Amino acid sequence: MQKVRSKDTKMELKVRKALWHRGLRYRKNYKELLGTPDIAFPNQKLVIFLDSCFWHGCPLHFREPRSNQEFWSEKIKRNQERDEEQTEHYVCQGWTILRFWEHEITSNFERVINDIVTTYDQLNEEHDRDENRQELLDADDPCE
């Protein structure tokens, strides 16, 4: 288990490289946010988690190990509970959260990247509109 990476996995590196080539700049493994998202865009309030089919208990691909079943069952169950807690936290805080399974990334890579870029672009437009609206409100402030 020492060789199991929790960050900078091949999957993460591939996704980050594709986003970088599309011109998106992000925070990676952003520790200031709950759950240390794999990719974060703080200005757009967008977090992305890239979930391994094994560690997060993918309903399509997870196979419980034959040895130490009780340990693994509890471990994966707790990971799934933590995923739900993180998702709820971000939604309640007004963030957009995207989660992708490992198999989605490997089988539909371009769709995953397009989903991220499209979501980023939409949130970026909203962020820009909000900033412009605030500038107009500040300019009309009679108290200054």
pLDDT tens-digit map of 11-54: 999 999 999 999 999 999 999 999 999 999 999 999 999 999 98
Question: pLDDT value at position 46?
Answer: 98
Question: pLDDT value at position 5?
Answer: 55
CB 41 within 8 A of CB 98: no
Confirm whether pTM is higher than 0.85.
Answer: no
| φ, ψ at 141 (rounded to 5°) | -70, 110
Note the CATH architecture for domain 10-15+25-136.
Answer: 3-Layer(aba) Sandwich (3.40)
Euclidean distance between CA atoms 143 and 137, whole angstroms: 12
Mean pLDDT of 70-87: 94
pLDDT digits (tens, 9 = 90+) for 1-23: 445 556 789 999 999 999 999 99
Euclidean distance between CA atoms 90 and 82, whole angstroms: 12
Residue bearing tokens 């199991």: 4
Euclidean distance between CA atoms 128 and 133, whole angstroms: 9
- Spacing of C-alpha 81 from chain mean position: 16
> Hey, what amino acid is at 64?
E
CB atoms within 10 A of CB 57: 19
pLDDT digits (tens, 9 = 90+) for 102-118: 999 999 999 999 999 99
- pLDDT exceeds cutoff 90 at 74: yes
Euclidean distance between CA atoms 49 and 129, whole angstroms: 27
